[in-house]
Amino acid sequence: MDKTIGVLIVETDAGTPGMATSNDLKPSTIMSAEEEAQNFFVDRLSENVLIFDGDGYLITANEEAKQLYKKLGYQDEIIGLFYDNLTLDYYTFDYIKFRAERS
């Protein structure tokens, strides 16, 4: 039995109390390490994963998701596209953000 399961996670930065920070690390080094770790795990998932920034633009997708969108007719790169242009249902980015802020 095949099932389609979707998950939408909306995160906000609330800070992490008690976490040590270091002025010795450059922001670009931290971001590079975070992106590398994120891509390592995301690319190994067999599910379709799309990650959007806070403005609703796709910042990364795993290979499974890229292949799915190619099958759906998206011939060009999907990275950088707006959520509303990629959604497979009728929810808009603004609606999802509105609901997340109210909960």
**pLDDT single digits (tens) 25-68:** 555 555 565 666 566 677 777 888 898 999 999 998 999 999 99
Angle at 89 between CA 66 and CA 9, to 5 degrees: 70
Q: Does residue 13 lie within any of the structural domains?
A: no
Q: pLDDT value at position 20? A: 47
What pLDDT is stored for residue 43 in this prediction?
A: 75
Contact criterion met (CB below 8 Å) for 22 and 41? no
Q: To the nearest whole number, what is the mean pLDDT of the chain? A: 77
Q: Is residue 9 part of a domain?
A: no
Instruction: Establish if 37 belongs to a structural domain.
Output: yes
- pTM of the complete model: 0.62
pLDDT for the residue numbered 15: 57
Task: Give the total number of structural domains in the chain.
Answer: 1
Burial of 65 (0-12, 13-18, 19+ CB in 10 A): buried
Q: Which domain holds residue 64?
A: 28-102
